[in-house]
A and B are shown apart, each in its own frame.
Chain A
Amino acid sequence: GENVGLHLPTLSVQEGDNSIINCAYSNSASDYFIWYKQESGKGPQFIIDIRSNMDKRQGQRVTVLLNKTVKHLSLQIAATQPGDSAVYFCAESGGAAGNKLTFGGGTRVLVKP
């Protein structure tokens, strides 16, 4: 996984606005990507996934975009709600690593009322 500083990048967003969380991955052989949400004191919770043969996938209020050319992944949350406040992690797998996940460092999302 990536080593990042002790302080997570933080995204502050107004309630009702859309949020965009970005993630850069390093392994060009990765072919499966997941976004997890982690609330304080809890385990990572699956949000949405995407395979490398797709560039966009939509769920309920969430959309994941994959740009394999620049190895970039993003999570868009529509109409952000207070319950969306959490740390969000991207994870990748595939290639020589098989299904073992490599996690990004995470982004903290704070929703302001």
Chain B
Amino acid sequence: DAGITQSPRHKVTETGTPVTLRCHQTENHRYMYWYRQDPGHGLRLIHYSYGVKDTDKGEVSDGYSVSRSKTEDFLLTLESATSSQTSVYFCAISDTGGTGNTIYFGEGSWLTVV
């Protein structure tokens, strides 16, 4: 599992509530990513980080924010959860940002918004 821990692993929340997912890595990798996986859309990048306090948007960033205050932790926040954000969320890490550097994934966080 490449030293990646996601929490919580499963969560049910109500529409309009804030939700924070945490990714913790023990590999000291510089790059961290949040993806979501949905039937019919595969894996899509939400946000990524290329260092402490350095983040950027992915292809489906609307409705999400991220923070990285320490190398090992990358937080994904849904400020006001909507049913369209029901999904499986995967954190991933890579050592560097150049092409050719393998990205390793965590075990996923299942989020249901009711």
Contacts and interface: CB of A to CB of B under 8 A. Distances in A.
Interface of A: 1-6, 31-32, 34, 36, 41-46, 49, 51, 89, 91, 93-94, 98-101, 103-106
Contact of B41 (A3, A41, A98): A3
Interface string B80-114: 00000000001000101111111111111000000
A3 B39 CA distance: 9
Interface of B: 1, 31, 39-45, 48, 58-59, 90, 94, 96-108
B107 A43 contact: yes
A67 to B, nearest CB: 19
B97 A43 contact: no
Interface SS majority for chain B: loop
5 contacts: A3-B41, A4-B42, A36-B105, A100-B48, A104-B42
A98 B99 contact: yes
A31 B100 contact: yes
Nearest to A4: B40
Contacts of B106: 43
A99 B42 contact: no
Contact of B97 (A2, A42, A99): A99
B94 A99 contact: yes
Contacts of B59: 1
Contacts of B100: 31-32, 49, 51, 93, 99
Contacts of A5: 40
A36 to B, nearest CB: 8
A99 B31 contact: yes
Given A98-B98, A99-B101, A3 B40 contact: yes
